[in-house]
Amino acid sequence: MHLLVDSAIALYAYRYQDIAVCYVPLSNNVSRLKELFLYRQHLVSQVKAMDVRRNVTDDFKKELGDVRFIVNSSTKIIKQIKATIKQCEQKMQEIIEEDEELKTTYGSITSVKGVSLIDAVAFIAYTNNFKILEAMQRRLPHIGE
């Protein structure tokens, strides 16, 4: 049974060798951007969660008694997280500035009105600086054969 499957895979690979694309791992800088992007997304969700908790507590202050500790503590934590988010964004910008290829791609992406740093980093991180899309474009003419 395995021989039949292996020969089918080999036949398929031989048939489409002209459009085969080797896997290209993320470059070091793209990988760093992706990690920072994911960390920033986590921090943003934490701010949202803390803000909801703070607002709920603030709304029911009179009914629950003295809950200023929760509100004050949440406010401090939110400020700290927002400062860390800014640091993540600065680090992303530094990584982009030190890599000419990323700098060029970033400039092209952000030239579109409404595209922010975070949008551009997401595009770069999830498309391996558009290398995945380039590979797909080479395959498009062969779809349906």
Return the pLDDT at 127.
86
> Is 87:21 a contact under the CB 8 Å cutoff?
no
What is the model's pLDDT at position 131? 78
pLDDT value at residue 70: 77
Q: What's residue 33's pLDDT?
A: 95
pLDDT score at 5? 66
DSSP annotation of 90 reads H
Residue pLDDT, tens place only, 115-141: 999 999 999 998 888 876 655 555 545
DSSP sequence for 92-123: HHHHHHH-HHHHHHHHHHHTSTT--HHHHHHH
Polymer length in residues for the chain: 145
Query: Residue for token digits 């003419």?
Result: 141
- Position 13 scores a pLDDT of 75
Q: How far apart are CA 123 and CA 108, in angstroms?
A: 12
What is the model's pTM? Answer: 0.72
pLDDT of residue 2: 63
The pair of three-digit structure tokens given for residue 120, joined into one six-digit string: 């551009």
Instruction: List all residues 6 or more positions away from 143 whose beta carbon is below 8 Å from its beta carbon.
Output: none
* Ranges under pLDDT 50 in the chain: 140, 142-145
Predicted local confidence at residue 137, as pLDDT? 54
Amino acid 82: pLDDT = 97
